[in-house]
Homo-oligomer: A and B are copies of this chain.
Amino acid sequence: MAPARTRADRPLTPAAQRVLDVAGDLFYRRGINTVGMELVAEQAGVTKKTIYDRFGSKEALVVAYLRARDARWRQWVTDAVDAEDDPVRRILATFDALAEWTDRENERGCAMVNACAELADPDHPGRAAARDQKEWLRGRYLELAAELGAADPARLADTLLILHEGAVVGRSVAELPGAIATARDAAARLLAAEG
């Protein structure tokens, strides 16, 4: 995973890294709009000036937060998929990866979905970051569907993505603790019918 960078595309200074870590935690747990830059600065042991010197704006910090989190997530899923050989098990590994991910991270659902909810402006670059993550996962599913030799790889990829996203919402909003297992199970049945 390439290290995160700021506006001038230079590696993060130590203080900037602390800011990004703190912002990631606060934005996710309390919401982007309800967390002020003053709080981020205080929690990171940094002045607001430093944040604005390194990131330029709150919007840019939000985007950096989403990109960094996305990078972590992609690595997490990639590692889980790469640990398996069988095409079916590689696909199902994404659901296991999600289960473990949501076990350690808290019960606040998908950061990208939450960001889209908070960033109403359709041109906000944070929305593009969220879309990119979903597009990436769909692309992974598309590759895996091709590996499997699915009759309609695109349809299968879309369906898997929908099950994946639905599981996250089912768990966090509908408060179904077994949502991810249920989605995995449905995916397994669809794959059995496919192959």
Contacts and interface: CB of A to CB of B under 8 A. Distances in A.
A183 interface: yes
A117 B112 contact: no
B173 A116 contact: yes
23 contacts: A31-B118, A31-B119, A33-B118, A34-B118, A107-B122, A109-B113, A112-B173, A113-B173, A114-B117, A116-B117, A131-B174, A134-B174, A134-B175, A138-B174, A158-B176, A161-B174, A162-B169, A162-B182, A162-B183, A165-B165, A165-B166, A165-B169, A166-B167
B120 A109 contact: no
A164 B165 contact: no
Interface residues of A, number: 51
Interface in A147-162: 155, 158-159, 161-162
A119 B29 CA distance: 10
Contacts of A130: 173
A120 B29 contact: yes
A34 to B, nearest CB: 6
A108 interface: yes
Contacts of A165: 165-166, 169-170, 173-174
A10 interface: no
Interface in A85-112: 107-110, 112
Contact of A158 (B30, B117, B179): B179
A118 B116 contact: no
A120 B158 contact: no
A107 to B, nearest CB: 8
A162 B173 contact: no
